[in-house]
Structure 1
Amino acid sequence: MDLNNNTVDNRNQLEEFDNEEKELLKYKISHLVSANRLKLYIRIDLINNESTVDYEDIMNYIKEQDVVYGIDEKEIIEYCNKMEFSKELVAASGLDPVDGKDAELIYDFDTSNENKLKEKEDGTIDFQNLNNVVNVKKGDVLCHIIPEKEGTDGIDIYANDVSYKIGKKVYFSNGKNTYISEDGLQLCSSVDGCAKIIGNKVVVEDVYTVDNVGNETGNIDFPGSVVINGDVKAGFSVKAKQDIKVRGLVEGAYIEAGGEVIIGKGMNGMGKGTIYAKGNITSKYIENASVESEKNIYSETLINSNAIANGSIILKGHNASIIGGTSNAKEMIYAPTIGSKANSETNLIIDLSNYKQNEDAINKVKNKKLDLKREYNNKVKELEDLEDKMKILINSSIENRNVLRKSLIFKKAKVNKDICEIAKELEEEIPIDNIANHKIICKGIMYVNTRISIGWLKYRVRQDISYSKIYNDGSDIVVVPLKSSDII
């Protein structure tokens, strides 16, 4: 046997076999599926660089992989036509899920805690009005929630649902004086006050506390109560819808309260300081200031000030005195010492408008009682007439006698009720206001040059008076010694 010939034949057979295999395997298709199964990537490896890939071949391959959704036939056709076999083909794309949107917490008040500096008309910065207190009213919305939104499921390339990501919820972190609305979407204030964030909680303070009022704080305008542990500097103002308590000194400032004002160390108004309160004003001393209370003013010393009280002005203490200025009250002025040895002019006024109003009210009540008395007599007469009719009806033979009798009984009951109500009103006492109750009490000395006005009458002290009560008796100013009942 010729071995060489055999070897040549074997090589020829092998080459013929390789050529047949190569003819069958023109290209190789593989694929990659994305981790979320929303993309199918096709890869073509050409065994013969001159080979082409048909659309049907790729489609058959895709079906063999059980891919049924999102097949991009147009892209596959274009891929085959352009013979872009060196590129990766995105043969199928699923439907992306639309994730839900996270809920949002929106604050409805300024949370920056920064001073809001404003310019005056002359271009300078207004350091008195810093606007660093965030005032809110009862029922105001402090923050609100925009709820999370639902998403939409996707579909993968195998036609399976792909769940969307659920949006995160948010919750209120609420503190004192707040409440959550019924729908759970709003956080509201339960009081008038100042909104702030302490820690992570939204709170409303109904008492605003500061150390001092000055350049650090600017003016204060607060819907609740204000507590000042130190002083109020000249030129600044403090306003509160409720009470104001100052533990230190008030200089030439403006104080206004819907409730009471209490000043621990007193007030030196420097000729421009002012206090107005709907409640009582209590201050250790008041000097060179204007103060007005819808109720009473209490102090130890009132010096060169204008004081107006809808009630009384009462000074108590070892050296309590009114010196200079004008003190005007509607009920009583009470002080151990009034005026001074230096004969400084001191004006005292008792405004009798409250007395006149009471007098008018009493006259109205008297007139009403006269009307009630007439109505009472008429009702008694009406009751007597009804009783006479019932007596007549009892002895009559009228067919509907029982019906008429019932009607008369109902009328009698109503008239009796009216008589009882009128009698009750007639028993009510008429309030009596004695003009002598509107008075000036001097527990010590009232010095010369004190000028007094009580209603329409005036009186000037021409020599010192001591331990006296002064009032208008309706025709003259009367000065009488004090009784123990006059001392408070």
Structure 2
Amino acid sequence: MAQLSAGSPRTGPCRETDPVATLRVTIMADGLTAMASLGAADRMPSADDLRLALSSAGISHGVLTEVLAELSAGGLQDDDVVVARGDAPLDGEDAWFEPLIARRRRVGVPLQLENGRVDFFDLGYAEAVRVGDPLMRRFPATNGSAGRSVTGHELGQRCGKDRTFRRVGRGTRLSAEDPNLLIATVAGLPIFGPDFVQVDPVLRVPAVDVSTGHITFAGTVIVVGDVATGLRIMADGDVIVAGCVEGAEIIADGEVGLRGGMVGQGRGRVQAGRSVHARFLEGVTVEAGLDVTFEETISHSRITAARDVLALSHGGRGQIVGGQTQAGRSIKVAVLGATVGTVTTVVVGTDPFRDQRLQRVEARLIRLRQDIQSTTQQLIRARMAPDLHSLDPAVLIAKMEGLSIEESRARDAMDRFEQTVIDPARSMIQAAAFFYAGVEAGIGHIARPLHDDLPGATLLLREGRIVARS
């Protein structure tokens, strides 16, 4: 407590001593606030007198000059007022992690189409990432800043607790440009933890039906049960179905495995960038970038394979009945046709996809190069004027890496397709057990309908004719 006299004592016959103005000062326990009150007096102390009194009380920081002036003017007598404020310490922030994949929509909500209609089969079951996609950003801990009390003493702060990514490597890596940015190294399903992300390249689904809707995934899809009519599965990797597939659509960049077979009902469709393996196929349209293999029968289907159509079973099974089957190199089965003379068309000796695939890959290369050029320009602008652009250079570099990988793969695919040449003279149609009448065989541009049954044989192209060899 500081006490101030408003003036020198005076004496006289008719007057008593002038009253003394007392300044009472209290410093709060945290040292950040000083309170004061000033009693009434004939003459009030000046602001400088008050400042000296505060200094005598040990207050040297954060003095509020305007309050002292008001006290000196007598406007705040007998009131407790704040005369000094210190600076509170600013604690540091702990390290924190921000997921960078924005959820498109809540799972189970049908997709709203641009034309206003709703696709009730597209329920957003899985949200996938691609190679190079940014997944999570780490914000390191900060130290904060020290404070200062009204008495001038430093007040220590709490430094933030730092943490690194808990795990790196399960489908992820740190960006080469930014060690605080985690990016995807594989396409797949991102699984987020509080301080980590892992990318699972395989999506496992109990079944594909109205509860899941369509499945679109940048990786491999495994279906434990069945796939219902009207549903669609699209995958950048493989699709494997343990149950039966009905009139559904399956599109995969890799392999398609139909362990329970497929009853397409005339509307089922399978498209694979590589091979299709099935127990049986009925009423299905199949396109395979490599082979189609089956165990039991292919009936009334339209099958197209860039290389071979092969029956893998033993004991006389492995029959193609009806429909049209086309392969680039060979068709090798146990039986072709049926006893009732069902028209069964089988053709080999030409690449059914060459022109189509070249066009697709060329279009993809053009699109990728445009994306690379656009991303490069964004990166240049972000580096030249970082304050004017919200795009993170590290994120753009990660995107560039992913696009470059995809472009390299597309170029390799283009080279393979351009070098693929099928020689009809090396192609064959083989039915190890039996050809039934009604089979229409073609090798290259030469056709031979079979009007009579033929025991197990191999059809070859020789001197411009299709001949049978036992």
- 1:199/1:152 CA distance change after superposition, 3 Å: closer
Asked if residue 118 in structure 1 is aligned to residue 114 in structure 2, the reply is: no
Instruction: Give secondary structure in 2 for the equivalent of 1:77.
Output: helix
The Cα of 1:64 is off from its aligned counterpart by: 2.1
Q: Return the match for 1:90 from 82, 107, 111.
A: 82
Asked if residue 312 in structure 1 is aligned to residue 336 in structure 2, the reply is: no
- 1:473/1:235 CA distance change after superposition, 3 Å: same
- Which residue pairs with 2:34 in the alignment? 40
Which residue type is aligned with residue 159 of structure 1? G
- Which residue pairs with 2:45 in the alignment? 54
Distance in 2 (CA, whole Å) between partners of 1:104 and 1:145 is: 6
- Which residue pairs with 2:416 in the alignment? none
Asked if residue 29 in structure 1 is aligned to residue 23 in structure 2, the reply is: yes
Is the CA contact (8 Å cut-off) linking 2:93 and 2:159 kept in structure 1? Answer: yes
Is the CA contact (8 Å cut-off) linking 2:97 and 2:195 kept in structure 1? Answer: no
- 1:156/1:351 CA distance change after superposition, 3 Å: same
Is the CA contact (8 Å cut-off) linking 2:248 and 2:267 kept in structure 1? Answer: yes
- 1:268/1:61 CA distance change after superposition, 3 Å: same
Asked if residue 204 in structure 1 is aligned to residue 199 in structure 2, the reply is: yes
Distance in 1 (CA, whole Å) between partners of 2:465 and 2:55 is: 120
Q: Return the match for 2:461 from 465, 472, 477.
A: 472
Q: Return the match for 2:183 from 184, 188, 193.
A: 188
- 1:109/1:345 CA distance change after superposition, 3 Å: same
Q: Return the match for 1:297 from 292, 295, 298.
A: 292
TM-score when normalising by structure 1: 0.71
Which residue type is aligned with residue 135 of structure 2? L
- Which residue pairs with 2:258 in the alignment? 263
Distance in 2 (CA, whole Å) between partners of 1:436 and 1:95 is: 91
Which residue type is aligned with residue 127 of structure 2? V
- 1:451/1:37 CA distance change after superposition, 3 Å: same
Instruction: Give secondary structure in 2 for the equivalent of 1:69.
Output: coil
- Which residue pairs with 2:58 in the alignment? 66
- 1:83/1:258 CA distance change after superposition, 3 Å: closer
Residues 392-433 of structure 1, C-alpha deviations (whole Å, 9 max, x = no match): xxxxxxxxxxxxxxxxxxxxxxxxxxxxxxxxxxxxxxxx99
The Cα of 1:45 is off from its aligned counterpart by: 4.9
Q: Return the match for 2:138 from 103, 126, 145.
A: 145
Asked if residue 223 in structure 1 is aligned to residue 218 in structure 2, the reply is: yes
Distance in 2 (CA, whole Å) between partners of 1:433 and 1:58 is: 103
Distance in 2 (CA, whole Å) between partners of 1:282 and 1:433 is: 23
Is the CA contact (8 Å cut-off) linking 1:435 and 1:473 kept in structure 2? Answer: no
Q: Unpaired segments of 5 or more residues in structure 2? A: 1-13, 353-420
- 1:24/1:469 CA distance change after superposition, 3 Å: same
Is the CA contact (8 Å cut-off) linking 1:118 and 1:125 kept in structure 2? Answer: yes
The Cα of 1:469 is off from its aligned counterpart by: 1.4
Within 5 Å, give how 1:159-178 maps onto structure 2: 159-174=152-167, 176-178=170-172
Which residue type is aligned with residue 478 of structure 1? V
- The structure with the larger Rg is 1
The Cα of 1:73 is off from its aligned counterpart by: 3.6
Within 5 Å, give how 1:241-252 maps onto structure 2: 241-252=236-247
Which residue type is aligned with residue 280 of structure 2? Y
- Which residue pairs with 2:376 in the alignment? none
Instruction: Give secondary structure in 1 for the equivalent of 2:73.
Output: helix
Distance in 2 (CA, whole Å) between partners of 1:256 and 1:269 is: 14
The Cα of 1:305 is off from its aligned counterpart by: 0.4
Distance in 2 (CA, whole Å) between partners of 1:174 and 1:208 is: 21
Which residue type is aligned with residue 318 of structure 2? A
- Which residue pairs with 1:385 in the alignment? none
Is the CA contact (8 Å cut-off) linking 2:165 and 2:195 kept in structure 1? Answer: no
Which residue type is aligned with residue 342 of structure 1? V
- 1:465/1:196 CA distance change after superposition, 3 Å: same
Q: Unpaired segments of 5 or more residues in structure 1? A: 1-19, 355-431, 482-488
The Cα of 1:76 is off from its aligned counterpart by: 1.6
Q: Return the match for 2:430 from 428, 441, 446.
A: 441
- Which residue pairs with 1:276 in the alignment? 271
Residues 16-42 of structure 1, C-alpha deviations (whole Å, 9 max, x = no match): xxxx9x947645432210223222211
Is the CA contact (8 Å cut-off) linking 2:322 and 2:342 kept in structure 1? Answer: yes
The Cα of 1:167 is off from its aligned counterpart by: 3.9
Residues 7-62 of structure 1, C-alpha deviations (whole Å, 9 max, x = no match): xxxxxxxxxxxxx9x9476454322102232222113356xxx6554236534432
The Cα of 1:293 is off from its aligned counterpart by: 1.2
Instruction: Give secondary structure in 2 for the equivalent of 1:467.
Output: strand
Asked if residue 134 in structure 1 is aligned to residue 127 in structure 2, the reply is: yes
Residues 229-272 of structure 1, C-alpha deviations (whole Å, 9 max, x = no match): 11111111112222111101111111112221111110111111
More helix by share: 1
Distance in 1 (CA, whole Å) between partners of 2:140 and 2:456 is: 75
Q: Return the match for 1:236 from 215, 231, 234.
A: 231
Is the CA contact (8 Å cut-off) linking 1:279 and 1:293 kept in structure 2? Answer: yes
Larger RCO of the pair (alpha carbons < 8 Å, separation 6+): 2
- Which residue pairs with 1:254 in the alignment? 249
- Which residue pairs with 1:345 in the alignment? 343
Instruction: Give secondary structure in 1 for the equivalent of 2:233.
Output: strand
Which residue type is aligned with residue 179 of structure 1? R
- 1:325/1:278 CA distance change after superposition, 3 Å: same
Which residue type is aligned with residue 107 of structure 2? E
- Which residue pairs with 1:394 in the alignment? none
Residues 358-410 of structure 1, C-alpha deviations (whole Å, 9 max, x = no match): xxxxxxxxxxxxxxxxxxxxxxxxxxxxxxxxxxxxxxxxxxxxxxxxxxxxx
Is the CA contact (8 Å cut-off) linking 2:128 and 2:217 kept in structure 1? Answer: yes
Which residue type is aligned with residue 275 of structure 1? V
Using the TM superposition, name which of 170-179 and 211-220 deviates more.
170-179
Instruction: Give secondary structure in 2 for the equivalent of 1:110.
Output: coil
Distance in 1 (CA, whole Å) between partners of 2:61 and 2:182 is: 47
The Cα of 1:441 is off from its aligned counterpart by: 1.0
Aligned length: 382
The Cα of 1:104 is off from its aligned counterpart by: 3.9
- 1:184/1:433 CA distance change after superposition, 3 Å: closer
Is the CA contact (8 Å cut-off) linking 1:227 and 1:246 kept in structure 2? Answer: yes
The Cα of 1:171 is off from its aligned counterpart by: 3.9
Distance in 2 (CA, whole Å) between partners of 1:59 and 1:466 is: 119
Distance in 2 (CA, whole Å) between partners of 1:136 and 1:65 is: 65
Is the CA contact (8 Å cut-off) linking 2:208 and 2:231 kept in structure 1? Answer: yes
- 1:260/1:163 CA distance change after superposition, 3 Å: same
Asked if residue 334 in structure 1 is aligned to residue 326 in structure 2, the reply is: no
